[in-house]
Amino acid sequence: MKRIFAILFLPIRLLFLLLRSFFLLLARGNHVYLSIPSKFNDSYKSFFLRKLQGEEDPPFFTEFLARLYMIQKDPRVQYLSIEIPKLSFGFAEVDSICRELEKIKKNNVTIQGFSDEGDLKSLYLLTVCDKRYSSETGEFHSILPSVESMFFGEVAKKWNVKVDVFQSGPYKSFGEMFTRKAFSKEAKSNLVDLIANLKESMISRIIDNTGLDEAKLQEPILNSGNLKELGFFHGLLEKENFKSNFLHSDPAEFTRELEIQSTDKDEKAKHTFIKKNKPQTKSLSEGSIHSRISVKNFQILGNHDPRIAILPLKGQIVSGKPEENEPKSGVIEGYSIRNTIQELKEDSKIKAVILEIDSPGGSASESEKIFQALKDLDKTKPVYAYMSNTCASGGYYLACAARKIFSGSIGIVGSIGTIMMRFNLEGLYSKFGVTKDRIGFYPHREIFSDSGKLSKESINFLKKEISRVENLFLKRVEEARNIGEETLSSMSGGKVFAPKSFFEAGLSDGMVSFLDVVEELKTLIKARRINLDYRAPRYNMKLAMRENIPFLSKMESLPVLEDLKIITQLAENSNNKIQHISLPAMQIRNF
C-alpha cells in the first residue's frame, strides 16, 4: 500500500525534492549551533495530555543521537557550537554524547561549548570542546561518586520487627539495611572498589583534557571565574551573547570589544567596528542538514529500509497485570513487555532489536520469563543489549538473552545473585494489641505469613530455593558469556562493578556509544540504510505524580513520618517474593 501511495504522489515528492536540492545549492553555511536538551523523553503521551502539559516534550535520547549522526555525516560542517544546560539525565547518556562528539571532531570539526550551571556531567561534556565558555556568574556543583546509606536495623528493633534474609552471597547486601546499623565488611569493600572505579572513569577524562586535578574537583562549588584562571574556560560572557556571536572565532573577545564600542556615544564608530569584524564562519541550520539527508536518501518507491527496533527496559522488574498490554514508563512489567516482544517477533519490517536496559532488577521469576521471550525473539532476528546507567541483577539477567552486550564506560553493572526477605511483624502487632489465630496451616505455610517464626524445615526450604534460583541465574550467565567457573565465581555473589571490570572479565562485549551498537547491527543485517523504531512505553501518570507534584514529594520526606514510612515499607515488602535486587537503598551520586 505504501508503495502505491509513493507512486501516486511521486510528482509532488519530486517537486519537493527539486526545491530542497535548490535550497541546498544556495546554502553556504559551515557552523552549526546545537542546544543539548536538559532531559530526554522516556514515554509517549496522548494528544490531550500533551496539550494539558502546555510544553513541548524533549526529544528521545535516540532522536538526539540521530541529530549528532547527521551532523557528523555532513561534509559542510566545519564548526559546531554546543550549549549545555544543567543536565538531569545520567552519565551513561553523557558518555554516549561525548563519544559521538568525538567522532565529529575526527572530521576536523572545531567544537566550542558554553555552560553556566550544572555538575560534574556538565564539566565532563565540556571536555570534548576545543574552546569552553561560561558566564561570570557560572557555578558548578562538583559531587564525586559517594555513598550515604540509611540503615533501619535499630528502627526494626524499636518496633519489634524481625527480618529473615536469605541471600546467595555476602555481597548481595540489600537486606543489611533492615538488619544492621552499617555495611558489612564484604559489602563495604565492594562499594569502595565500585566508587573508586566510577570516580576514575568520570574524572580521568576531565583531568587528561583540561589539566584540572582531583583535589580541585573535590571542591563542592566551582565558579567560572576560578575555572577560567585555571585554564578550563577560555572566556566569560553571557549565554545570549554566546548564542548571538558564536560565528566569531572568539565569541567572548568579540563581545568584550563590542561592549567597549557600545559605551561610545558615536554609533557610527560602533557600526564601523561591526562591519570590520565580520563573522569568520557562516551559520548552517540543522534543517539544512536534515534536507541534505532527505535528498541523499530519496527513493522512488518510498522509504522501505529495514528497521532496527529499540526496546527500552527501564525500572524494576515486576509481573504487572495480564489485562495491561502496553508497557508503562519507569517499570518493566512482565505481561506487557512479553506482549511487546511478541509484536516485535511478528513484525516482518523489524530486522533486529536493541535492548536499552536501565534496571536494578526485580522479580526472579519475571526475569526468567522475559529472558525466555527474548531468547525466542533472537531465534528469528538478532537481539543486542546496551547497558545504560544501571544494569544489575535482574537487569543483567535480561541482557544475557542478547547475542552481544555493550555499555558505556560509566554505570553500575553486576549484582549477579538472588535475595529473599521475610518480615516478621508479630512483635509490631503485639504493640498495638493485634493477634493472629491460625487455622488450616500446614508445613511451610508460615513462609507466606507476616507473623511468627519460621520453622527449621521452612528455613532449609528457602535456602534450597535461593540456591536453585541462583544456580539458574549463573547458568544463564555462563551460557551467554561462555566464561569459566572461576571467573564467574569472582564476578557473582551479588558484587557490583563499573563497566570496565565487567568488560575485562568477559561479561560484556565492549564499551561504546549507543549508536555504535546500531552500526554493528546494521552491518550484521547487511543493510546500507536503516530506520530506528523506538518502542516508547506509555506515560506512567501515577509514577509521574509521585515524582513531580511538590506536595506529595514533601509529604513523603517529613521527618515525623519516617518511622511510619519504614514500618509501612516493611509491611508492603512482606509478600516474600524472591527477587533480584542490585543495591542497598543508598545514594550513589551522579546517577
Which of 55, 16, 31 lies closest to 109, judged by CA?
A: 31
Judge if 332 and 413 occupy the same domain: yes
Judge if 247 and 321 occupy the same domain: no
For residue 407 the three cell numbers come to: 555499555
Identify the DSSP state of 60: B
User: Per-residue pLDDT for 48 more than 90?
Assistant: no
Judge if 292 and 377 occupy the same domain: no
| Alpha carbons 89 and 94: distance in angstroms, whole number | 8
User: Per-residue pLDDT for 343 more than 90?
Assistant: yes
- Lowest-confidence region among 326-340, 385-399, 552-566: 552-566
412 forms beta bridges with 390
In tens, the pLDDT along 141-174 reads 988 898 888 999 999 999 999 999 998 888 888 8
Check if the beta carbon of residue 378 is closer than 8 Å to that of residue 403: yes
CA-to-CA dists, residue 530 to 61, 104, 421, 522, 533, angstroms? 17, 21, 46, 7, 10
pLDDT-based confidence at 289, cuts 50/70/90? confident
Judge if 353 and 422 occupy the same domain: yes
Check if the beta carbon of residue 66 is closer than 8 Å to that of residue 40: no
Judge if 382 and 248 occupy the same domain: no
Among residues 251, 267, 296, which one ends one of the domains?
A: 296
| Alpha carbons 164 and 179: distance in angstroms, whole number | 9
87 lies in a domain?
A: yes
Q: How many of the other CB atoms lie within 10 Å of CB of 328?
A: 19
Judge if 233 and 324 occupy the same domain: no
112 forms beta bridges with 81, 131
Q: Can you give the residue range of the structural domain that contains 40?
A: 2-143+220-296
149 lies in a domain?
A: no
pLDDT computed for residue 573 by the predictor: 45
Residue type, 75: P
Percent of the chain with pLDDT over 70: 84
Q: Check which CATH number belongs to the domain holding 495 and give it.
A: 3.90.226.10
| Alpha carbons 416 and 169: distance in angstroms, whole number | 9
From the centroid of its chain, how far is CA 523? 25
Q: Which residues contact 290 (CB under 8 A, 6 or more apart)?
A: 70
pLDDT computed for residue 11 by the predictor: 72
pTM above 0.75, yes or no: yes
CA-to-CA dists, residue 329 to 66, 349, 357, 583, angstroms? 22, 25, 13, 21
542 lies in a domain?
A: yes
Which of 395, 386, 327 lies closest to 360, judged by CA?
A: 395
pLDDT computed for residue 577 by the predictor: 39
CA-to-CA dists, residue 311 to 167, 398, 499, angstroms? 31, 12, 21
475 lies in a domain?
A: yes
Among residues 229, 262, 296, which one ends one of the domains?
A: 296
Judge if 317 and 287 occupy the same domain: no
- Lowest-confidence region among 9-13, 53-57, 568-572: 568-572
CA-to-CA dists, residue 514 to 77, 517, 520, angstroms? 22, 5, 10
Interval 266-290 mean pLDDT: 79
436 lies in a domain?
A: yes
Mean pLDDT, the chain, integer = 85
414 lies in a domain?
A: yes
Residue type, 101: L
In tens, the pLDDT along 91-139 reads 999 999 999 999 999 999 999 999 999 999 999 999 999 999 999 999 9
pLDDT computed for residue 16 by the predictor: 67
Side by side, the strands of the sheet bearing 235-236 are 31-35, 79-83, 110-114, 131-134, 235-236
Which of 408, 321, 307 lies closest to 358, judged by CA?
A: 408
pLDDT computed for residue 49 by the predictor: 75
Pairing of strands 316-318, 331-333: parallel
195 lies in a domain?
A: no
Judge if 229 and 311 occupy the same domain: no
Judge if 463 and 543 occupy the same domain: yes
| Alpha carbons 439 and 445: distance in angstroms, whole number | 11
Interval 267-284 mean pLDDT: 78
171 lies in a domain?
A: no
Among residues 263, 296, 329, which one ends one of the domains?
A: 296
State whether the Cα torsion 222-227-232-236 is positive or negative.
positive
The total of structural domains in the chain comes to: 2
Judge if 292 and 312 occupy the same domain: no
In tens, the pLDDT along 410-431 reads 999 999 999 889 999 999 999 9
In tens, the pLDDT along 521-567 reads 999 999 988 889 999 888 866 655 555 554 444 444 444 444 444 44
Judge if 262 and 329 occupy the same domain: no
Interval 323-337 mean pLDDT: 90
Judge if 275 and 388 occupy the same domain: no
In tens, the pLDDT along 238-258 reads 999 999 999 998 999 988 887
Q: SS3 of 306, please?
A: coil
Q: Which residues contact 17 (CB under 8 A, 6 or more apart)?
A: 295, 298
Burial of 309 (0-12, 13-18, 19+ CB in 10 A): buried
| Alpha carbons 78 and 501: distance in angstroms, whole number | 37
Pairing of strands 404-407, 235-236: unpaired
| Alpha carbons 444 and 457: distance in angstroms, whole number | 7
3-state per-residue secondary structure call for 92-115: HHHHHHHHHHHHHHCCCCEEEEEC
In tens, the pLDDT along 175-201 reads 888 989 999 999 999 999 999 999 999
In tens, the pLDDT along 460-518 reads 999 999 999 999 999 999 999 999 889 999 999 999 999 999 999 999 999 999 999 99
